[in-house]
Amino acid sequence: MYPLIISFGELRVYTYPLFIGFAWGFAFQFAQYLINKLNITFDHFKIFTIGLFAISWVGAKIFFLIFSLTENFRQHLVSSYFWLGGGFVFYGGLITGVLFVILYRWLVDKTLTREKLIVLLPALAFGHAIGRIGCLLAGCCYGKETSSFLSIHVHDAFRHPVQLYEAILLMILGVVITKLIFKKINSDLIIALYFIYYSVIRFLLEFFRGDQVRGIFFDLLSTSQIVSIFILASAIIYLILHTRRRRWL
């Protein structure tokens, strides 16, 4: 583990927040690249992404607070260290981010079509992958103990590098979606692909997780697995409804 990447005198740079910064920065730049490459008119893109970042950050923190912290709940709620430090649930950020996009389109910019919004998906996948590498280096979200040759030594045991598994799968997802965007594949299919793909891999990878902070229900499923089931079902319904609509049109 390398939770502290730079330590020089009073200067300390922690790995996880550094990689979170890399993740958001890369995601923004990549989405901007796609917008320019595809000649998409995306008004006020910077303002939009700032709002998306803020809402997703709060959502990820709230989910962590609700599902992971069972003690000192009120103290964390009013702690600046909690809100500005580590401790996120990706699904919390994803769900609140989607809600922000829906409200933004409804209240601010009705020209924000799905054809424009899909540029966010590969950027999100790549940024998420970078964030998972930050988790690996910081030692959070670690895997179960294993004797596999793929194991890494962390927290006094050889464990699955589940963060790396997810990062690789997310990179693949980002590459696939980027290619589909350039091939002008229907945006509804791309949106459904992202949510179906990620919910499935997240559900499966949770079985390799060894940390208990994420919450376990019924001694079987984690919070993220329950959310994955909900998102998978929603994405399949979304795909079916939009496929039927295109047939009727």
Q: DSSP letters of 151-196?
A: -EEETTEEE--HHHHHHHHHHHHHHHHHHHHHTT--HHHHHHHHHH
pLDDT score at 151: 93
Whether the pLDDT of residue 20 is over 70: the answer is: yes
Least confident of 2-11, 42-51, 172-181, 215-224: 2-11
Determine the Cα–Cα distance for residues 81 and 211; give it in Å rounded to an integer. Answer: 22
Whether the pLDDT of residue 42 is over 60: the answer is: yes
Angle made by CA atoms 14, 19, 35, in degrees to the nearest 5 = 155
Share of the chain above pLDDT 90, in %: 65
Determine the Cα–Cα distance for residues 124 and 94; give it in Å rounded to an integer. Answer: 10
Determine the Cα–Cα distance for residues 229 and 231; give it in Å rounded to an integer. Answer: 6
Determine the Cα–Cα distance for residues 13 and 6; give it in Å rounded to an integer. Answer: 5
**Residue of 241 and 82 predicted with greater confidence:** 241
Helix %, strand %, coil % for the chain, to 5? 65, 10, 25
Share of the chain above pLDDT 70, in %: 84
| Mean pLDDT over the full length of the chain | 88
What is the three-class DSSP state of 121?
helix
Task: Measure the CA dihedral 184/203/56/37, to 10°.
Answer: -20
Token pair listed for 231: 């998102």
223 Rama sector, left if φ>0, alpha if ψ -120 to 50, beta otherwise: alpha
pLDDT score at 139: 87
pLDDT score at 14: 76
Whether the pLDDT of residue 249 is over 50: the answer is: no
- Residue written as tokens 């409200």? 103
Query: Quick one: which of 43, 50, 39, 85 has its CA closest to 64?
Result: 85
The mean pLDDT value for 53-82 works out to 73
Asked whether the beta carbons of 199 and 95 are under 8 A apart, the reply is no
What is the three-class DSSP state of 226?
helix
Token pair listed for 43: 């008004």
What is the three-class DSSP state of 204?
helix
Asked whether the beta carbons of 138 and 3 are under 8 A apart, the reply is yes
Whether the pLDDT of residue 213 is over 60: the answer is: yes
